[in-house]
Amino acid sequence: MSKLIFLVLTAVYAEACYWNAPCPYQLFGSKTPYDTVRGDIRDYAIPTNCQAVSIWTLNRHGNRNPGTSVTLGMKEVTNLKEEIIASYEAGNSQLCAQDIEDFKKWTWNNTLDTTTSYLTGVGYEELYDIGKRIREKYPHLMTGTADRFHFRPTNEQRTITSCAAFVHGLTDGISLNVTVESVRTRDDVIRPYENCDRYQQEVKGGPTLNYQLDSYFTSPNYVAIQNAVQYRLGLTSKLNSSDLFSIYELCRFYRSWGPTLKSPWCSVFTDEDLVIMEYYDDVRHYYRNGYGSWVNENLGRLPLKDLYDSFSNSVEGVGKKVTGYFTHDTMMEMVFCALGLYKDDPPLQALLMDGERSWRTSYIGAFSVNLVAVLNSCTDNNINPEYRVQIFINEKETPICPLKGCTWAEFQEKFKHFSQATLDFCSMSFVPEQENEASPNSAAPTKVFWNYW
């Protein structure tokens, strides 16, 4: 009987190992691969008696290498690899044998030291495939002269190469020559926040964001994970909060580059741990890019002004067939705020995590997230032509405009006010109306424990 119990327990424990987990956790905030959350624009119907005449897209760059500070933190904690292995061999670790075997095989990618924030091969494929699917969905648009197409990235390697990948997918195998506009040192359409003093001082560098992040790293649940990982690995070296998050960065970056979407560094966490670790990006982005400040919503209006103007030109017969911009998660999330999407009540707080929250960067801030707007020209028995607009996010249907499309009048009602967008509010001398009213985001949040479970 005791032998049978041992075999059963061994089987149960083996099933809990990371290396052979049938459904490993897949949501990693802003470092989630696009294929994890995307739809497929080819699967959605074109409105009856309609044909697309113009497409406007806003895209985050694809999968990339970590930035300089994250790379340094990741490289520093890789020194724990040998101690993790030694702890297991001494009988002090709770990891599984194969997970330790995978640690032994794991090596640091030296190219990370010289290519920080660069687009990866995986990222190139993400954008290439998006362009390819759009080409296959709307092949009739892939004709004409270069002036009927417009593409522009921000002035970063990862967006420039993402743009090239998208154009490659859009034009691969067909006779279509297009050009990409030169990057701008200042781009108030797809990176206006870089030139907004109020954003740089009050939001990105402001006290509210810092308070929320400090609260996250000192929260009871984060400290509990820190202690649990320490115990699980059987380490004598004391892990601090930064060490723990650097291990998480090793987990989520390295897994995103492999075909199996796994990394031995992820084996140190349980799925419940990863749920909490994922929430860091949600909090950070909510206050840096989202509803945590009225400034973010106003910055998100600038690309939507370009969308409205672009489709208005097309209705007048002078628009582009395809317009594509390539930017960053900061811009994407600001646009979602301007559209009123993914808004939670009450606002997100570091110490109050709602498992049913709408603002979730794994879905709205993953690599290669995008907004695709399609202007369709429609006829009823070749009489009374009209226009309908469809809007997709990550190649999925959205509540902004249904699959049957917003009528042109409905689109104007939803988007015309964006045509008045400016950066006047960015001046520190500008007094917004919001400052005359009490704001739930301006007060220090009440300290309460997370209520996820």
| Strand boundaries in 113-260, DSSP class E | 149-153
- Residue 429's pLDDT is what? 82
CA 329, chain centre distance (Å): 5
- pTM attached to this predicted model: 0.92
Helix axes of 301-315 and 329-338: crossing angle, nearest 10 degrees: 70
The domain segmentation of the chain, as residue ranges, is 32-430
Give the span between the Cα atoms of 318 and 49, in whole angstroms: 22
Catalytic residues: 61, 329
CA 35, chain centre distance (Å): 12
- Residue 449's pLDDT is what? 30
- Residue 432's pLDDT is what? 75
- Residue 16's pLDDT is what? 78
In CATH terms, is domain 32-430 a member of 3.40.50.300? no
Which amino acid appears at position 108 of this protein? W
- Residue 381's pLDDT is what? 64
Among 382, 383, 381, 377, CA closest to 407: 377
Splitting the chain (453 residues) into consecutive groups of 10 residues, what average pLDDT does each group show? 38 66 95 98 95 98 98 98 98 97 98 97 98 98 97 98 98 95 96 97 95 97 97 96 98 96 97 98 98 98 98 96 98 98 96 95 98 94 82 97 95 97 92 50 34 28
Give residues with Cβ within 8 angstroms of 412, minimum separation 6: none
Asked if 130 contacts 169 with a C-beta cutoff of 8 angstroms, the reply is yes
What count of Cα atoms within 13 Å lies in the side-chain half-sphere of residue 308?
Answer: 19
- Residue 431's pLDDT is what? 79
- Residue 450's pLDDT is what? 33
